[in-house]
Amino acid sequence: MEELRIDVYGRVQGVGFRQFVKKQADAFSIKGHVRNAGDGRVAIVAQASRKQLELFLARVQGGPFLAKVTEVSYAWKKPVRRFDDFVISTDGGFIRDQAHSFANLGKHLLHGQDAIPHHVCVIPDGNRRWAKDKGLKPWEGHRFASSSERVLALLEEAKSLGVSHLTFWAFSTENWQRDKREVNELFSLLGRGLKKFKKEFIVHKARFRHIGRKDRLPEDILKQMDELEEATHLFSEINISICLDYGGRDEITRAVNRVLKRGKVEISEEELARELDTTGIPDPDLIIRTSGEQRLSGFMPFQSSYAELYFIPVHFPEFGPDELREAVQEFGRRKRNFGV
C-alpha cells in the first residue's frame, strides 16, 4: 500500500468537488480523506496500490462539471497511519464548512486565480554586499537576513496575500567554493534558525520542505530538516521550501540518472517532472531576485518556463513585507499567455 497526497487548485470549493473526489475514491477502493484548505484549494490524502492511486489521480484532475481545476500538485509518501474508509472532512461543522467553501468560491470568481501567484520563489541576493556597505563581515549579512523575525514577517505577508507556496534559495551547489569560514557560519546560522522555525511553523501551520542535495550537507542540518518536514507534513495553510545545496543543472542530472538506473532509455516531460526535487510542488509563478542582478543563475530551469521574473535593486536584508507585496501586485498586473 502507498499513500498519495494531492493538492488541487482552481474553482474547487463550493462546487461539489469533494463529493466528486469521494465518488472516485470509492470506485477505486481507496481509503483516506478529502478536505477544503483555508487558502481555497482541496487537499486529499489517499491510500491504495500505486496503480489504483494513479488512476484516481487522473480522474481527480478532471473534476465535476462546475469545477475548474487549474493546477494539481502531488507527492508520494510512506503511510504513517492507515485509514479504514474514505471520508469528507469538515472544519467546525457542516454550516461553518459550507460558509468557508462558498466564501472561497466567491473570492475565486471575484479576483480570478491568476491575480495571486500560487508559488513565489525568492533568490535572496545581496547579503554580503549589504554587510560590506556597513563595514561588517559577510556572515553578518546572512545573520541579519535569516533572522526568524524577518522570515516570519515574509511568511505572514505571503499568507495574507493568498500565496500558498514560498521558496527561498539559501545555498547553491556553487556556494561551496566560498570562504570556508563563511560557509561554516552560514550552516551554523541555519542550524540555530531551524530550531526556532520548528515552533513557529507549527504555530502558523506552515509545511516545510527541503529542495536540493542531501549527500553533502552536515548531518545535524539534515536531521533537523527531516524532523521539521515530518512535524509539519500535515499542514496546508502555507508551504515553505528552502533550496539548500541546490542547482538546477545538478537537479536535472540527478533526476535523469535515477531514471537511467531503472533501465529506461527514454523519458517523458511528465516523468522527468516527477523525478525532480520539487515533485508535488507547483511550478513557480513568480521569481523574485533582490540586489539588482537580472539573471536566474540556474534556479529551477525546468520548472520556471512560464514564471514571471521580478528584479528589485534592494539587497535582501532590506527586502521585507512591503517589497513582497509590491512584487505580488506587479504580478497581478501582468498578462500571462502561456504560449497561446
Domains along the sequence of the chain with CATH: 2-113 (3.30.70.100), 116-333 (3.40.1180.10)
Q: Are strands 31-36 and 86-88 parallel, antiparallel or unpaired?
A: parallel
Q: Which long-range contacts (C-beta less than 8 Å, at least 24 apart) are formed by 178-187?
A: 179/138, 181/139, 182/138, 182/139, 182/142, 185/139, 185/142, 185/143, 186/139, 186/142, 187/217, 187/218, 187/221
> Of how many residues is the chain composed?
340
User: 10 Å Cβ neighbour count for 233?
Assistant: 15
Residue 248 CA: distances (Å) to CA of 56, 174, 296, 303: 31, 11, 10, 9
First to last CA, the chain: 41
Closest by CA position to 128, among listed 328, 316, 324, 327: 316
Helices 50-60 and 17-27, interaxial angle, to 10°? 150
> Residue-wise pLDDT tens for the chain (340 aa)?
899 999 888 888 877 888 989 999 999 999 999 988 877 788 999 999 999 998 899 888 877 767 778 788 888 888 888 999 999 987 655 555 655 655 555 555 544 445 789 999 999 999 999 999 999 988 888 888 888 788 889 999 998 888 999 999 999 999 999 999 989 999 999 998 898 888 889 988 899 999 999 999 999 999 999 999 999 998 888 999 999 999 999 999 999 999 999 898 888 888 899 899 999 899 999 999 999 999 999 999 999 999 999 999 999 999 999 999 999 999 988 877 776 5
Q: pTM to 2 decimals?
A: 0.69
d(CA 186, CA 138): 10
Burial letters 133-149, b for 16+ CB under 10 A, else e: eeeeebbbbbbbbbeee
β-partners of residue 289 are: 123, 311
Q: What is the DSSP letter of 318?
A: G
Q: Are strands 286-289 and 238-246 parallel, antiparallel or unpaired?
A: unpaired
- Give yes or no: 125 in active site: yes
pLDDT of residue 113: 47
d(CA 25, CA 6): 13
pLDDT of residue 256: 94
Q: Is 291 exposed, middle or buried (0-12, 13-18, 19+ CB in 10 A)?
A: buried
List the catalytic residue out of 7, 125, 245, 283: 125
Cβ 189 vs Cβ 222: under 8 Å: no
- Give yes or no: 285 in active site: no
pLDDT of residue 39: 73
| 11 φ/ψ angles, rounded to the nearest 5 degrees | -85, 80
